[in-house]
Amino acid sequence: MITIVDYGLGNVGAFANTYKRMDMPVRTARTADELASAERIVLPGVGAFDAAMDLLDASGMRDTLEDLVVDKKIPVVGVCVGMQMLAEGSDEGLRSGLGWIPGRVRHFSHAPANADLPMPHMGWNDVQPIAGETLFKGLETDARFYFLHSFYFEPADPADAVAHTSYGLQFACAVRRGHVHGVQFHPEKSHHFGSNLLKNFAEV
């Protein structure tokens, strides 16, 4: 069963509809009790980093989420700001992240050569996954996904980056450490590419 964490941010309905179209069992969780029996977790997110962390805390689900992911090793995928929340912190705000994948979220202008890039990075872009990465099975070549963001994840260990995209600089658009996955793009808006990736996650 895929469980989508509905803490007030992200395209929860779009994720649910994608899984329903593939005839895969899915539900949303708005309380700790609803989340407790999750077997696979989607953590969506849009907007600002600190606001997302505040809403997750206010939802009452954070402790249960931590228990499932950290202690019980339940697979999770963070999407967009949900991916950024996996980091230790963000240049966008003051709050600490979940810290499940060491690293920090940077603004594109962090690299001086990118100061004049149009913001946000918006639209379709090519993605180059690392060979053999399970989440990208069937997406090894010619994969394109929809992006909408001004910040990117900079993992402390480059080995945690499992796919890259270029926008002024090459950056990690997908990360993984063990059972913890994150993607910066929006699979729920990325047509068959996104459906394939979400199906792969369900089968991890």
The Cα 162–Cα 173 span in angstroms is 8
Which alpha helices (DSSP H) does the chain contain, by range? Answer: 12-21, 32-35, 49-58, 62-66, 81-84, 191-202
What percent of the chain is modeled with pLDDT above 90? Answer: 93
- Give residue-wise pLDDT tens across range 20-34: 999 999 999 999 999
Residue 116 confidence (pLDDT): 80
Q: Which of 146, 155, 152, 123 shows the shortest CA–CA distance to 193?
A: 146
- Give residue-wise pLDDT tens across range 30-56: 999 999 999 999 999 999 999 999 999
pTM check: above 0.85? yes
Query: What angle, rounded to 10 degrees, do the helices at 12-21 and 191-202 form?
Result: 80
Domain spanning 2-202: CATH 3.30.465.10: no
Could you tell me the pLDDT band of residue 110, with boundaries at 50, 70 and 90? confident
Residues 163-190 have a mean pLDDT of 97
Could you tell me the pLDDT band of residue 109, with boundaries at 50, 70 and 90? confident
The residues carrying an active-site annotation are: 80, 186, 188
Residues 142-163 have a mean pLDDT of 97
Q: Where are the domains of the chain?
A: 2-202
The owner of tokens 């700790």 is 32
111 pLDDT more than 90 = no
